[in-house]
Amino acid sequence: MAARGAKPKAAHLRLVDGTHRKNRHGDAAETREAVEKAAASFGKLTKPKHLKSHAADAWKKYIEPATWLDASREPAAVAFCELWQEFRFAPVSFPASKHGQMRAYMSELGLTDERNRVLDESKKDKDEFFDD
């Protein structure tokens, strides 16, 4: 059964996009430690050897820069890359249902949130309105 409202954001994404609030989510240092411990237990996300062609390109372009992903997200990352390859081979015959699946994988992996992208490292921790 579907639940109303937005689903809760994962702790690591709250830390990445800066929406972690102490009064709601607890101490940021403790949360960061728990996220690092979980990441260490799952390990680093590595590209599977069977990904070739457009799937390998999608991994390189979308998954590798996503530093917040760990090995627990490998099935979703591989499925996204394989759907991307299928889309690149025949975009006209790619059905709307698979578009929905691809968008859901991107959302689950945190690839659609622009706040995850830091283009200029010097502005990473600065507030654009208050810090000079």
Q: What is the pLDDT of residues 15-26, one digit of tens each?
A: 766 777 677 667
Instruction: State the total domains in the chain.
Output: 2
Integer angstrom CA distances of residue 114 from 16, 36, 101: 11, 23, 20
Question: What's this model's pTM, rounded to 2 decimal places?
Answer: 0.62
Tell me: do 67 and 15 sit in the same domain: no
DSSP secondary structure string for all residues of 36-103: HHHHHHH-B----TT--HHHHHHIIIIITT-TT-BGGGHHHHHHHHHHHHHHHH-STT--HHHHHHHH
Vertex 22: Cα angle to 43 and 122 (nearest 5): 65
- For 28-86, write each residue's pLDDT tens digit: 777 778 777 776 777 777 788 888 899 888 888 888 888 778 788 889 999 999 999 99
Q: Are residues 54 and 119 in the same domain?
A: yes
Question: For position 17, what pLDDT does the model report?
Answer: 67
Question: Is there a single domain that holds both residue 105 and residue 130?
Answer: yes
Residue 2 counted as domain residue: no
Task: Please give the residue range of the domain that contains residue 124.
Answer: 44-132
